[in-house]
Amino acid sequence: MRTPLVVGNWKMHGTLAEARPLATAIRDGTKRVKGVDVAVCPPFTALAAVGEIVRESSVRLGAQDCHAEPSGAHTGEVSLPMLLELGCAFVIVGHSERRREIGESDAVINGKVHAVLAQGLTPILCVGETGEERRQGLTFTTVEGQLRAGLAGVTPDAITRIVLAYEPVWAIGTGVNATPGQASEVHGYLRGLVSELASKEAAQVIRILYGGSVKPENTGELMAAPDIDGALVGGASLNAQGFLQIVRKAAHAGARGD
Ligand code: PGA
């Protein structure tokens, strides 16, 4: 049984004035919710403040990106030792916005996956096809290429410590989520690849999140789909009440053993 995981990706939202009350409401609202893991990924500038707020609660802290090197002449970058010091447990790696806007390659992403694992943190490795790739029938080819490249050289043991996120690019921030059927066929495919790359056991253990226009209204049906073990939530994670509804629905679906 995989415990569902719900991660809020705040993206470039959250001044300290906004981040503090949001984190406080999420911390307080998850106190009585059992059977689900919850993490928030604020921007770098709010990590310390949010880390203070969620410390000694069940809400984990995550970063939205990192540099693969522990230190050095990399202006504007943030290293894993810096993130560790702030109490981060997760790091999102290879988000499609970074692939597209910053031009992050699969090789760079693979370097980050190795670095995150080496520091004992959990990478949330994102894969997903564009709308054009889906129209051309390239969905599986695309996610397979991203997964194989992202996990290149990662040992089978270490693969069990990774979280995967299937995030179809056409569903991110559009209000149009993948249907449970569309998502679960890709999740099943990814799990099959993990079985090949690592082991059957790893494929059973690894959590594969869905991301792309997750909101309270579609969480129940998405989480009920086979192989969907949680959600990476962007826009809807900025509203504490909405995010908490998503968390509760994910816990409920997990408790049913779906
Ligand atoms: P969204 O973003 O929920 O706003 O679609 C998801 C993501 O990019 O992680």
Instruction: List all residues whose CB is within 6 A of at least one atom of ligand 1.
Output: 9, 167, 172-173, 211-214, 232-236
The residue segments making up the domain with residue 99 are: 5-256
Closest CA to ligand 1's atom 7: 234
**What CATH number did the domain enclosing 218 receive?**
3.20.20.70
Using DSSP's 3-state secondary structure scheme, residue 84 falls into helix
Q: In sequence order, which ranges of the chain are alpha helices (DSSP H)? A: 16-29, 44-54, 80-85, 96-101, 106-118, 131-135, 139-150, 156-159, 180-197, 200-205, 216-224, 240-255
Single-letter amino acid code for the residue at 212: G
Residue 211 structure tokens: 């991301």
What are the distances in angstroms from CA 104 to CA 5, 107, 108, 128?
26, 8, 6, 14
Closest to 39 (Cα-Cα) out of 77, 111, 88, 101: 88
Atom of ligand 1 nearest to the CA of 9: 9
Closest CA to ligand 1's atom 9: 234
Going from the Cα of 40 to the center of ligand 1, the distance in angstroms, rounded, reads 13
Q: What is the pLDDT of residues 30-72, one digit of tens each?
A: 999 999 999 999 999 999 999 999 999 999 999 999 999 999 9
Q: What is the pLDDT of residues 187-202, one digit of tens each?
A: 999 999 999 999 999 9
Q: What is the pLDDT of residues 113-131, one digit of tens each?
A: 999 999 999 999 999 999 9
> Is residue 257 scored above 90 in pLDDT?
no
Domain count, the chain: 1
* pLDDT of the residue at 151: 98
* pLDDT of the residue at 55: 96
In percent, the amount of the chain with pLDDT more than 70 equals 99
Going from the Cα of 223 to the center of ligand 1, the distance in angstroms, rounded, reads 16
Mean pLDDT for all residues in the chain: 97
Task: Determine the Cα–Cα distance for residues 109 and 179; give it in Å rounded to an integer.
Answer: 27
> Is residue 24 scored above 80 in pLDDT?
yes
Closest to 258 (Cα-Cα) out of 229, 218, 216: 229
Catalogue the active-site residues: 95, 167
Contact 189, 228 (CB under 8 A): no
Q: What band does 255 get if pLDDT is binned at 50, 70 and 90? A: confident
* pLDDT of the residue at 258: 45
| CB environment 187-218: b (16+ within 10 A), e (fewer) | bebbbebbeebbeeebbeebbbbbbbbbbbeb
> Is residue 247 scored above 50 in pLDDT?
yes
* pLDDT of the residue at 1: 79
